[in-house]
Structure 1
């Protein structure tokens, strides 16, 4: 009897343990499946979504601000500060504004863009005394002689000779009725220069003289009378009259024979003639005789028209 009871009890316990094992197995299996399913879902989701990468800090040199970009595009400092050689023969520097000359008292032959050698006035026996290359050591004495004879002359001055200390005397000359024109900046032969160079020189010389005198420069005489095909058009462009001459005294070559100066003038003088002289010692010496001859022969001495 006791044996049967023990077997029955063991059977019950085996059954209970079996049920427990089945239940535990079911829980574990179901839980594992859910866990596995969740893991699978997470993995699938992770593959389908983009992977966020950590922020990469870009170097500062890769971001160029506008000012830096301008600096990078500019030439290097060493290149930009190198002075460029000036083109002396073809000056293109900023030039003074070109202004047309004031209206001048008309005389026959007074015309821009023309070589003027004489200025006859109908019915008048007039001539024009002109002096080149000043101002210099003989200027004041020549002016004194002209003033003493109550006549006026036209003086063509070289820009580099006209220093600021001459300005008061130049203004005095203008007030006395004398006329001042330009004779280039350095007494260069314009016939050997380009159109651009000539234009630059005429404007620069005129601006220099105008600054010191306060009077508009409307007359230009080319040194040596040297001109080329561009010379006359240039004077018209800058509003200056090109003044040459009809009676050449050749005084520059007669330092040892001053009397020949008067002889040369006598040969070529006629009404309306522009007489060429220079500010030289020999010219100063013979000037009183030239004035006396002109007056004795009925000539009236004028300056070039002043525009008044």
Structure 2
């Protein structure tokens, strides 16, 4: 796994640009507008998804909601993570990678969906979309959509651009492919450490209402940190939801960016 992860991240490490993605999520000179969950809730029309119905209705205009999200899986760590989430009755949103992940662990993708989690896209091979020609960027988004649909019967409606990097052209392609872009407001930077206690502390220190928490289930320190994260946030009154639940009764619109 170490060799595979190394190949995935060798030229575009999460470490160097994840902070840039969180702070700016833009390239070139175009200022990118992002929309907050509360704005979607306040202005959106009611649109409950199949997943929301499975997991029950949570009114995040009243409850102190937070969304756990996991990037770049599935991996050999994901089955244990799903066990934890099932035991804790916590839904999550999985931004899955195609190459070496969806293709290698199809049963885990099916399990994510069957257990009420939101299955979303993190592109096919983690190429930086803003560095690609439009046709290549479109292929990076289209291939995981098709692979996921074959496994769970429907295409994802959410995607997370690698390193959070997006621009007007990526927005346009995402809109045409029926995808909304989801960034994050909390990062444990778990790509920099295997210290589970530190990962937990970083999440607990940063999380506020409507937080979208970025974690990676490909790193060995992350999954062991999840029970403590869940316990710590529950004690502070947080309710865990998927990203679509966080936005309900509004709904993410294709081509728009949310954080």
**What's the TM-score once normalised by structure 1's chain length?**
0.58
Q: Give 3-state SS (helix, strand or coil) of 1:126's partner.
A: strand
SS of the counterpart of 2:94? Answer: strand
Note the 1:45-84 alignment, pairs <5 A: none
CA–CA distance in structure 1, aligned partners of residues 104 and 140 of structure 2: 22
Q: How big is each residue's C-alpha offset from its partner over 1:67-106, in whole Å with a ceiling of 9 and x where there is no partner?
A: xxxxxxxxxxxxxxxxxxxxxxxxxxxxxxxxxxxxxxx9
| Counterpart secondary structure, 1:242 | strand
User: What SS is found at the alignment partner of 1:180?
Assistant: strand
2:145 alignment partner in structure 1: 206
Is 2:35 the counterpart of 1:109? Answer: no
Between 260-269 and 180-189, the greater mean CA deviation after superposition = 260-269
Which SS does the other structure have where 2:154 is aligned? coil
2:93 matched to which residue of 1? 154
The 3-state SS of whatever aligns with 2:113 is: helix
- The structural deviation recorded for 1:180 is 0.8
1:283 aligned to 2:226?
Answer: no
Report the Cα distance in structure 1 between the residues aligned to 2:205 and 2:104, rounded to whole angstroms.
39
Shift of 1:222: 1.0
Preserved CA contact (<8 Å) 2:74 2:109:
no
Cα distance in 2 for partners of 1:147, 1:239 equals: 29
State how far apart, in whole Å, the 1-side matches of 2:101 and 2:158 are: 16
- Which secondary structure does the structure 2 equivalent of 1:197 belong to? helix
**Counterpart secondary structure, 1:137:** coil
Matches within 5 A, 1:111-126: 121-126=60-65
Say yes or no: does 1:182 pair with 2:93. Answer: no
SS of the residue corresponding to residue 224 of structure 1 reads helix
- Give the SS at the match of 1:251: coil
More relative contact order in 1 or in 2 (CA 8 Å, sep 6+)? Answer: 2
Per the TM alignment, residue 107 of structure 1 is displaced from its structure 2 partner at its CA by 6.3
Q: Which has the larger radius of gyration?
A: 1
- Per the TM alignment, residue 274 of structure 1 is displaced from its structure 2 partner at its CA by 0.6
CA-CA distance at 1:169 after TM superposition: 3.5
Aligned to 2:24: none
Q: Pick closer, same or farther for the CA change 1:163–1:248 going to 2, 3 Å.
A: closer
- Describe the SS at the equivalent of 2:72: strand
TM-score normalised by structure 2 residue count: 0.68
> Mind listing any 5+ residue stretches in structure 1 that lack a counterpart?
1-105, 112-119
Partner residue, 2:205: 267
| Contact 2:98-2:125 within 8 A present in 1 as well | yes
Matched residue, 2:67: 128
Q: Quick one: distance in 1 between partners of 2:130 and 2:103? A: 29
| In 2: Cα distance, 1:143 partner to 1:162 partner | 16
Q: Distance in 2 between matches of 1:169 and 1:283?
A: 18
Distance 1:265 1:158, change over 3 A: same
